[in-house]
């Protein structure tokens, strides 16, 4: 085998044997499904800070994965080299929300399925996943708890505040109570009635109540 035979090898011939039409169709479907994933992520986002960069990564990741899988399936030798090349890639970006992992794997899976030529599976699977996320992601299974921090003077103010809370909220549980020379500080967990927070003003207006702070807590962040 001479130097010219290397360029006539089946390896290079197989690398060039791809259909431009299939590539265009695959990338078009990757764009459509990627934008659908982007739309679902935007509608179901419930975290602290919305990241436009991460959202735009989802359709891009779908397209890139589709192109990689098309290249891998076109040649066996190329697939082995691609596996070795991609094995050295490391991602250092921290995942802030658990749902972001779902969308990342969704984009990767859609790209893999489209690149493998299973476009109907990618379309119907993405539709089912998207509908399920839209229906259940933002559905409130239970009311978010609230934390009330109350500072008052003496037992009389404390009793009046407890009576007002029993009428104004669905239920409340005292978590901590601190008594000092400056007065009494009470921390209670509340469940509101229809997100009505007007009782905080009434608490502050009670005689002997010096401060009333209401904090919403959903298990992920304070607001």
Res 29: pLDDT: 92
Res 28: pLDDT: 93
Residues 118 and 16 in one domain: yes
Can you list the residues of the chain whose pLDDT is less than 50?
Answer: 3, 6-7, 11, 141, 220-223
**CATH number of the structural domain spanning residue 181:** 3.30.70.1150
63 within domain boundaries: yes
Domain boundaries, position 176: 146-216
Please tell me whether the overall predicted TM-score, pTM, comes out greater than 0.75 for this model. Answer: no
Give the chain as a 3 state SS string. CCHHHHHCCHHHHHHHCCCHHHHHHHHHHHHHHHHHHHHHHHHHCCCCCCCHHHHHHHHHHHHHHHHHHHHHHHCHHHHHHHHHHHCCCCCCCCCCCHHHHHHHHHHHHHHHHHHCCCHHHHHHHHHHHHHHHHHHCCCCCCCCCEEEEEEECHHHHHHHHHHHHHHHCCEEEEEEEEEECCEEEEEEEEECCCCCCCHHHHHHHCCCEEEEEEEEECCCCEC
Res 203: pLDDT: 85
106 within domain boundaries: yes
222 within domain boundaries: no
């Amino acid at each position: 085998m001479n130097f010219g035979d290397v360029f006539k090898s089946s390896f290079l011939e197989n690398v060039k044997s791809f259909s431009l039409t299939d590539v265009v169709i695959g990338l078009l479907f990757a764009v459509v499904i990627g934008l659908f994933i982007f739309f679902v992520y935007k509608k179901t986002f419930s975290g602290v800070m919305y990241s436009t960069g991460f959202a735009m990564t989802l359709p891009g990741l779908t397209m890139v994965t589709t192109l990689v899988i098309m290249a891998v399936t076109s040649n066996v030798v190329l697939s082995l080299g691609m596996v070795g090349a991609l094995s050295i890639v490391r991602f250092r970006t921290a995942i802030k929300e658990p749902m972001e992992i779902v969308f990342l794997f969704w984009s990767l899976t859609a790209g893999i399925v489209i690149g493998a030529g299973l476009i109907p599976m990618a379309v119907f699977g993405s539709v089912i996943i998207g509908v399920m996320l839209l229906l259940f992601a933002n559905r409130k299974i239970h009311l978010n708890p609230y934390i009330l921090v109350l500072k008052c003077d003496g037992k009389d103010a404390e009793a009046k505040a407890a009576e007002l809370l029993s009428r104004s909220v669905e239920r409340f549980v005292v978590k901590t109570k601190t008594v000092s020379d400056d007065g009494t500080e009470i921390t209670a967990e509340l469940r509101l009635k229809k997100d009505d927070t007007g009782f905080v003003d009434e608490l502050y207006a009670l005689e002997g109540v010096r401060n009333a702070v209401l904090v919403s807590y959903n298990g992920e962040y304070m607001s």
